[in-house]
Chain A
Amino acid sequence: MGLVSQLLYSAITELALESAQCNVTTDPPFSAAQLLIHANEAYQDVWEASGASLYKAAGSTLWTGGGTASLVTDFTLPGGTGTEEIAEFLHVWATTTSASTGGGAGDIELSPVDYAEILALRSSGSGLGTYGTPKVYSVIRRVQAADTDTNRYDLYWWPSVAGYYFPAQAVRQFDPFDGGASDFPDVDDQWSRTLALLLAFKLAPLAGRAELVPAIAAAIDPRHKSALERRNRAQLSARQDR
């Protein structure tokens, strides 16, 4: 087991194999690669259920073309792997501080609007006043015309004022295990144990031990219930119930 309250990948797979009664080194029923595939399936299920974690990124690193404060064109979130894989933008700021990840003194939180509103303001915004700083933004997913367009987003803002970085706080897309022993899931301690049991739930029938499934399911149920209750308590007290 890992030394942290949240189980690491090695502990998760060990607990799962133990629960499925197939934690053997001679003729193991699953290769490391197979174990990784099933672990990631179980991880994704748990990750989605556990709720979002907040990812913060500076505008200078988040957007292509966002490294300088002089651009006024639309910024593009780079594609590829790693930190750029955003599922949903929660907050976007305009700031003159390149290292800011949003919410700092002087950072201007922008209001999210439909892309259509940005276009309308650009073409028909006269008479609605002149602003010295960006006020509203829209982030849209770019069509995937090529592999390099994977997970790319375009940021539009209004008015088009120069000199700003656009840090954001967001929910990332699911980031799977890479199979390293010290890899860890982006969930808390309870969910990491649910993850191990769910993995065992998937492995047991594949290892010819389907008779263990009811017992594993019975173990998952209270663990899952307590994890959900903890999440609900946190949400209620943090006024996220709307």
Chain B
Amino acid sequence: MATTLAVVRNRVRAQLNELDNRAVSTGLIAIDNAIANTLQVQAARLPAPRLYAASAFNISAGAQTFALPTTIGSVATVEYAGDVRLQLNSDKTFMLKSTREEIEAFRNGDTSTGGSKPTRFSLHEDSSTVVQGECWPRSKDLEAINLYASLDHNDLRDAADMDAATVQFSRYGAISLVLLTAAALVRGMTDADLVLRRLERGVATTWEKMAAMLLYQEEARRHAAEDSGRTQRWVS
């Protein structure tokens, strides 16, 4: 049930009584920017969405290093959230995640250029946020890798068309995003801005509480999906 930025923007404008283009003071660009920022703030509290991509990348024949793809499907700016599992497409075995030191311990003193199917891997992120990997043993043949990964939420501003940018939230999350964005914008308004919209600053607190409730439910929903319905309890 992911929605689009255009939908969230329209709702924020309605929430701010700013549908009238003659009575705009925040402005469309600023609203979109605020939505994109708020989305990242809220996403930081939520389990990262997960992805499966068959044959997402290859480990070259004879290689002992690889890089996770930075483009998956239509997403050109992938950033990994940490939970990465790799499966050899050839025999469907999962590689074991190891520390870099373990990989180096296996490789220590090994000068062979041969290899077999890689069974272990370690990951690290380089300075350009590309996730680099090392495997053991060295891959004998070219291996296509099925990728299971958790991804950080996209930055909406990286989309090819902002209006069509996808907000990866359910309806709970989307409404929460609307309310928290609107609340943040209201808190930055002058008294004149508020009069123009017939709003009172205190309403931001109400919206923030509503947003927190909805975000909690979004969080519970995602955890429940992963944990086979484990009971969640509201702790304030």
**Chain A residues packing against B (C-beta within 8 Å):** 90-91, 109-113, 117, 121, 127-133, 135-136, 242
- 6 CB < 8 A contacts A-B: A113-B27, A117-B27, A128-B157, A129-B157, A133-B163, A242-B23
Contact of A111 among B21, B156, B165 (CB under 8 A): B21
Whether A135 lies near B21 (C-beta < 8 A) is: no
Shortest distance between the CB of A80 and any CB in chain B (Å): 28
Chain B residues at the A interface, C-beta cutoff of 8 Å: 21-24, 27-29, 32-33, 36, 156-157, 159-165, 196
Contact: A110 with B21, CB < 8 Å?
Answer: yes
Secondary structure type dominating chain B contacts: helix
Cα distance A130–B161 in the bound complex, in angstroms? 5
Q: Which of A109, A111, A130 contacts B27 (CB 8 A)?
A: A111
Greatest chain A CB density within 10 A among B21, B36, B196 is at B21
Q: Are A128 and B33 in contact (CB under 8 A)?
A: yes
What residues of A have a CB within 8 angstroms of the CB of B163 in the complex? 131-133
Q: How far is the CA of A177 from the CA of B33 in the complex (A)?
A: 50
Cβ contact within 8 Å between B28 and A135: yes
Which residues from chain B contact A90 at a C-beta distance below 8 Å? 22
Q: Which 8 A-B pairs have the closest CB atoms?
A: A129-B162, A132-B161, A129-B157, A111-B28, A131-B162, A111-B21, A111-B24, A135-B28
Taking a contact as CB atoms under 8 Å apart, the answer to whether A136 and B159 are in contact is no
With contacts A129-B159, A130-B159, A135-B28 known, what are 14 further pairs, Cβ within 8 A? Answer: A91-B21, A91-B22, A110-B21, A111-B27, A111-B28, A112-B21, A112-B22, A117-B27, A128-B32, A129-B165, A130-B161, A131-B163, A132-B161, A133-B163
CB distance from A56 to the nearest CB of B (A): 16
CB–CB B161/A136 < 8 A: no
> Is B36 touching A129 in the complex (CB atoms < 8 A)?
yes
Residues of B within 8 A of A136 (CB): 27-29
Tell me the smallest distance from the CB of A88 to a CB of chain B, in Å. 11
Task: Give Cα distance in the complex from A109 to B10, angstroms.
Answer: 13
Q: How far is the CA of A110 from the CA of B36 in the complex (A)?
A: 21
Q: Which residue of A lies closest to B36 (CB)?
A: A129
Rounded to whole angstroms, the CA-CA distance of A168 and B196 in the bound complex is: 24
Q: How far is the CA of A110 from the CA of B22 in the complex (A)?
A: 10
> What's the Cα separation between A87 and B33 when bound, in Å?
33
- Name the distance in Å between B24's Cβ and chain A's nearest Cβ: 5
Indicate which residue in A112, A129, A242 contacts B156 across the interface (CB closer than 8 Å). A129
B196: chain A residues at CB < 8 Å are 242
Give CA–CA (A207, B10) in the complex, Å: 62
The smallest beta-carbon distance between B17 and chain A, in angstroms, is 10
Q: Give complex CA distance A242, B195 in Å.
A: 10
